[in-house]
Structure 1
Amino acid sequence: MQKTVQEPRQATRRREVVRRRGASPEKTAQTRQTIVDAALAEFLEKGFADATIESVSKRAGVAKGLIYRYFEAKEALFSAVVQQEIVHAHIDVEESKRGPSETVEAFLRRTLLVSIRNIDKKSRADIARVVIAEGARFPALVEIYRRDVIDPLAQKVKRLAVSARKSGELESDYLAKNPHFLLAPIWAGIVLNKFLDKANPVDIGEMFEAQLDVIFSR
């Protein structure tokens, strides 16, 4: 009799194990993508403070509890948005991707300038706006953006500046010591367009190109 009772229980356990294994990797990736896309829309529409896990779940069409299986907190969601929209989508400006006879200036115009020209057409400038507007209240946003966006980009510019100095493209070590000098028009343009003068937006791409002209003029 005991054996008869045990067998159904074992079968039930096997079914439970199968269910716990969850969806396929493709389905899991798609669910995560849906959640991150919904979070992006919420953050850009409402800001970080007013966006909630519940509102993200409604927009994504998934249960609130499911989001916590992927992201432990709202900050983790924001980090995923930054990774998707900026880090993974960013034009690669690694020194190793520069052509054998390509100057640093030409490389920056071919890669970074093209990306900056489209910054207002993408969500990148609006993500930066959220960080600038709410970073004082939520330092984690600043840390995420600094760690994942600003510091890596500055380091890449620094390495390129060192190469440009060695090849004679640059006459001093100023850019290698101050890589943010090249990137300053980006942040200035975002602040002007998103906060200070929305009615008269500046062209961030043109500002960045002018900065390249100044830095590499000889």
Structure 2
Amino acid sequence: MVIFLYAGFMAFEDDDAPPRRRRGPSPAKTAATRQALVTAALATFFEKGFADTRMSDVAARAGTAKGTIYLYFTDKAALFGAVVVEVLRDARAGRSVPRPRPDEPTGAFLRRIVPPLLSELQRSGRSQVLRLVASEGTRFPELTRVYRQVAIEPVLRMIRIYARRAERRGELRPHALSDQPILMAAPAVIAMLWNGLFAGDEPLDVAAMFEAWLDLVFGPVPER
């Protein structure tokens, strides 16, 4: 009853009264809602696939109103892009941008930095994002476009930087890797796709496969 009286009172307020200032959601609440939507989207994409996931499914899973999701993401492709960013951020787990030590061989630097990231991706199960793109990307070009922009192109840029360093230091033949940076990413990509499609109960160790590839490219770690 009090609520109805209050509502009636508000309806008859003086029109000349100054408008009340509406306080928007706090930044913390906004960030929490966005995170809930991204987490729900990741689980829903893995469960239903990209094609069968509806924005309303994600909103319901996150415990938000149906229209709330569109305040954060314009469409499903934008939501998927946020999921990919989240997966990569989780894999880095707060690590700073990696830089080799001044006298550190490039191969040793890559062995130090990359395998832990790959192990975390595999352990968390979030490497399934790549399989999702591979299985549904032909039907949904926006899926491959977003994944390439968010995940692939930044990685290839970093590989070129490290490849040119290795070439300057005489560790690799000039242009051997800097012109074809996909060669460095290929073993991890193949291992993740293999695990999602063919491995069954015997998945490949993605980090170990990458380290074996580094042995082929840079030579094995010298014995002490």
> Normalising to structure 2: TM-score of the pair?
0.85
CA contact (8 A) 1:53 1:74 kept: yes
Alpha-carbon distance, 1:171 to partner = 3.2
Q: What does residue 130 of structure 1 align with?
A: 132
Of 197, 200, 216 in structure 2, the residue corresponding to residue 198 of structure 1 is 200
Q: Deviations over 1:1-48 (max 9, x none)?
A: xxxxx972354732xx41xx4211111111111111111110111111
Structure 1: distance between partners of 2:84 and 2:199 = 25
CA contact (8 A) 1:94 1:156 kept: no
Q: Is the alpha carbon distance of 1:8 and 1:175 closer, same or farther for their aligned partners in structure 2, counting shifts above 3 Å?
A: same
Counting only pairs closer than 5 Å after superposition, residues 130-149 of structure 1 correspond to structure 2 as: 130-149=132-151
Alpha-carbon distance, 1:167 to partner = 0.7
Q: What does residue 168 of structure 1 align with?
A: 170
Q: What does residue 26 of structure 1 align with?
A: 28
Structure 2: distance between partners of 1:169 and 1:87 = 30
Q: Is the alpha carbon distance of 1:89 and 1:207 closer, same or farther for their aligned partners in structure 2, counting shifts above 3 Å?
A: closer
Q: Is the alpha carbon distance of 1:200 and 1:123 closer, same or farther for their aligned partners in structure 2, counting shifts above 3 Å?
A: closer
Of 80, 99, 119 in structure 2, the residue corresponding to residue 117 of structure 1 is 119
Q: What does residue 13 of structure 1 align with?
A: 19
Which consecutive unaligned segments of at least 5 residues does structure 2 have? 1-11
CA contact (8 A) 2:130 2:193 kept: no
Structure 2: distance between partners of 1:157 and 1:11 = 62
Q: Deviations over 1:109-156 (max 9, x none)?
A: 111122112321124311111101100011111011111111110111
Structure 2: distance between partners of 1:48 and 1:90 = 25
Tell me the number of residue pairs that the alignment of Structure 1 and Structure 2 aligns.
Answer: 209
Alpha-carbon distance, 1:71 to partner = 0.9
Instruction: Tell me the SS of whatever aligns to 1:146.
Output: helix
Of 181, 187, 190 in structure 2, the residue corresponding to residue 188 of structure 1 is 190
Alpha-carbon distance, 1:90 to partner = 3.5
Q: Deviations over 1:177-207 (max 9, x none)?
A: 1111111111111221111232331111111
Q: What does residue 45 of structure 1 align with?
A: 47
Counterpart code for 1:197: A
CA contact (8 A) 1:192 1:198 kept: no
Q: What does residue 58 of structure 1 align with?
A: 60
Q: What does residue 67 of structure 1 align with?
A: 69
RMSD (Å), alpha carbons = 2.3
Q: Is the alpha carbon distance of 1:12 and 1:77 closer, same or farther for their aligned partners in structure 2, counting shifts above 3 Å?
A: farther
Structure 2: distance between partners of 1:61 and 1:214 = 49
CA contact (8 A) 1:35 1:67 kept: yes
Q: Is the alpha carbon distance of 1:35 and 1:11 closer, same or farther for their aligned partners in structure 2, counting shifts above 3 Å?
A: farther
Q: Which is worse superposed, 181-190 or 129-138?
A: 181-190
Q: Which is worse superposed, 182-191 or 167-176?
A: 167-176
Alpha-carbon distance, 1:159 to partner = 1.2
Alpha-carbon distance, 1:84 to partner = 1.1
Seq. identity, %: 40
Q: What does residue 214 of structure 1 align with?
A: 216
Structure 2: distance between partners of 1:145 and 1:171 = 30
Structure 2: distance between partners of 1:193 and 1:104 = 28
Q: Which is worse superposed, 27-36 or 78-87?
A: 78-87
